[in-house]
Amino acid sequence: MYDFSVDEALPKPERYRQLIDAAGALVDGERDGVANMANVAALMWDFLPDINWAGFYRVDPEGEGRELVLGPFAGKPACIRIPFGVGVCGTAAATGETQLIEDVEAFPGHIACDAASKSELVVPVQRDGRLIAVIDIDSPHLARFDREDAAGIEALAARICAAI
């Protein structure tokens, strides 16, 4: 049994350190990328309060590198394919930059998979300088994510990129 307890009283950077340590402990030594993404999605779901979706979109190797396809996640069923440049995830993929969106309805082209989502954080995952996936987290609250969340998920992406 895996039991990673979350201490909600800890400051956010420390909680992200715990999330990253737990993710590292789960993915190290396992070579199956789908299993590792599934466990990391489950950990984000457990560790992060006030979210309604957490998971991965992968760069589709069959799609000439210009399309994301849904990967392991926690939350409601979601859109399966997202072209680069479209929506929050596609913008993160096309630019290679983290997207910290306080109000998704104000984001041009936002793709509404779950009407409950109000704010969103999308972080590119790169390996050997190449985009392989994005991590997407949605919240039912406006402005749920800040720079500390972005830095925490960017550090998570760097920690697990070799294992997905």
Position among 16, 53, 56, 84 found at the interface with ligand SME (CB under 6 A) = 53
Residue from 47, 120, 123, 149 in contact with ligand SME (CB under 6 A): 120
Binding track over 10-39 against ligand SME, x by CB under 6 A: ------------------------------
Beta carbon of residue 73, minimum distance to ligand SME (angstroms, whole number): 7
Tokens of 79: 């859109």
Q: How is 27-90 classified by DSSP, letter by letter?
A: HTT---HHHHHHHHHHHHHHHSSS-SEEEEEEE-TTTTTSEEEEEEEEES---SEEETTSHHHH
In this chain, which stretch among 15-23, 35-43, 108-116, 143-151 interacts with ligand SME, using CB under 6 A? 108-116
> Closer to ligand SME at the Cβ: 24 or 83?
83
Q: Which amino acid is present at 87?
A: G
CB 16 within 8 A of CB 34: no
By residue count, the chain amounts to 164
Could you tell me the two tokens for 98? 């983290």
Among 27, 41, 59, 89, binds ligand SME (CB under 6 A): 89
Task: Establish if 79 lies at the interface with ligand SME (CB under 6 A).
Answer: yes
For the segment 121-160, give every residue that binds ligand SME (CB under 6 A): 136, 138
Non-local (6+) Cβ contacts of 112 within 8 A are 104
Contacting positions for ligand SME (CB under 6 A): 53, 78-79, 82, 87-90, 110-111, 113, 117, 120, 136, 138
